[in-house]
Amino acid sequence: MTYDELKTALAVFGFSGHDRLTMSQIKRRHRELSRRNHPDLQGDAHAMQEINSAAAVLLAYLQAYRFAFSEEEFYSQNPDEFLRQQFSKDPWGT
């Protein structure tokens, strides 16, 4: 896969390379697009092929993605937990 293929797949789904997405968001968008374009529901067969191809590219990218499990990455992904941890011992808190 090339980066251009990844960008094209994101564009088909209405996303950009700057978006931070979860697997759930990608799956939800795939479901929405499939419902709208499925040939059995009077949709466009060509568009459905494009959507499925884009989904395959995105899922292949996600399958090969390397996740970081460092403390700093954890807190960047969970800012509420970072704040709770930072201020939980605040003597003025309740």
C-alpha dist (Å) from residue 91 to 7, 16, 84, 85, 86: 49, 44, 13, 13, 12
Domain boundaries, the chain: 3-66
d(CA 1, CA 58): 10
Specify the pTM.
0.75
Tokens 């950009």 belong to 16
Name the CATH superfamily for 3-66. Answer: DnaJ domain (1.10.287.110)
CB-facing half-sphere around the CA of 65: CA atoms within 13 A: 14
pLDDT tens-place string over residues 9-67: 999 999 999 998 989 999 999 999 999 999 888 888 999 999 999 999 999 999 998 88
The amino acid sitting at 43 is G
CA dist., res. 84 & res. 68, Å (int): 21
